Amino acid sequence: MRITGKAAVLAMGLVVTAVWPALADIITVKDVTGRDVQVNAPVKHMILGEGRQIYFLAALDREAPFQHVVGWRDDLPKADPESYDAYLAKYPEIAKLPTFGGMKDGTFDIEQAVALKPDVILMNIDAKTATEEAGYIEKLGKVGIPLVYVDFREKPMENTEPSMRIMGKLMGKEALAEDFIKFRADSISQVTDVLQKANPPKPVVFVERAGGYSEDCCMSFGNENFGKMVEIAGGTNMAKDIIPGTFGTVNPEQIIASNPDQVIVTGGNWDKYVPGGNWVGVGYGADLKEAHRKLEALTKRPAFTGVKAVADNNVHAIWHQFYNNPYQFVAIQEIAKWLHPDLFADLDPEATFKELHARFLPLDYKPGYFVSLKDE
């Protein structure tokens, strides 16, 4: 027997003392696709189309980030197990939250979603095509459940601010959303203001997406996401003219021919996807000694033969999930330090990330998000 709606929430112990208005207003939000969507807000019950959406939801509800979540996709324990375990330790009730598959792989259970009676379903923009092809917006609309798209992955440097404003409006936390946006903008300005004044030469940077995740080489980024972060941080993204979209691949010969000055590998603990894989396990509280060892091992592959970055030890690893949340400004600061160490000797990305946690997030900060072959 399936318990649905508010009964399910109560059964899971997810309801806390009400701090939101008893009556919601119908508001119209324009999502990142330009759709005008009517939603009862502040939202009391929501389904997260991806578990990693907790990254931005938590920034706007640090006291009880799961109190209005009635279901979420099952990706967080696999894609970012350290963060999931930290949230689970603080909010053990999340172990009972109903989980969903993905829109893109056709495993999203719309009947389960309807039974949970959410006020809104949040979807990442990369699920748009699959969602439309399945007719889910129309099906959900018939039972009064709106679907809103946000984006921190496809075009994060363009869509992070509007996505945070959408969330602020949905949650009745618009002022807090603006505080976050200002903190993000100020943190990026600490890099761009210095670069504008100094106008240093731009090193060529190869960003390998999820290096070691598979035996294939090499996934990378076009002129968005980490590719755009490199450009903002004062580098030239090697793959920007090779990859036409946000994501794609380059071959080993292109890397060798480009002879990048710097290499940045995105990594995470993906043991539940690729047990014992060669990925670099940076992330929340990661073992940086082990991450350093695995990063060095990746430089032995044929794609990096004779490459200047390897010869100079300018090879670094960074938390992959910066590519899918509004904390990219921390990544931009760290990349700037790697590319221009003299210019940014006084810049402290760790301090920025600590301040982000202290001001906006429910978890205590733990280091482990960056490692470099330059490190002792």
For 184-193, what is each residue's pLDDT tens digit?
Answer: 999 999 999 9
pLDDT in the model for residue 376: 67
* pLDDT band with cut points at 50, 70 and 90 for residue 262: very high
| pLDDT surpasses 60 at 283 | yes
Question: Which CA distances in Å does 275 have to 36, 74, 80, 214, 324?
Answer: 43, 18, 14, 11, 23
E strand or H helix that includes residue 7: helix 5-11
| pLDDT surpasses 90 at 12 | no
Coil, strand, or helix at residue 84? helix
pLDDT in the model for residue 8: 40
Angle between the 156-171 and 328-339 helix axes, to the nearest 10 degrees?
150
Q: What is the pLDDT of residues 150-208, one digit of tens each?
A: 999 999 999 999 999 999 999 999 999 999 999 999 999 999 999 999 999 999 999 99
Dist CA 132 CA 116 (whole Å)? 21
pLDDT in the model for residue 41: 96
Span(s) in the chain for CATH 3.40.50.1980: 25-179, 201-372
Q: Could you tell me if 299 and 195 are in contact, meaning their C-beta atoms sit under 8 angstroms apart?
A: no
pLDDT in the model for residue 24: 66
CATH class of 25-179: alpha beta
pTM for the predicted model, two decimal places: 0.91
| pLDDT surpasses 50 at 17 | no
* pLDDT band with cut points at 50, 70 and 90 for residue 342: very high
| pLDDT surpasses 60 at 23 | no
Q: Could you tell me if 319 and 283 are in contact, meaning their C-beta atoms sit under 8 angstroms apart?
A: yes
201-372 belongs to CATH 3.40.50.1980: yes
| pLDDT surpasses 50 at 5 | no
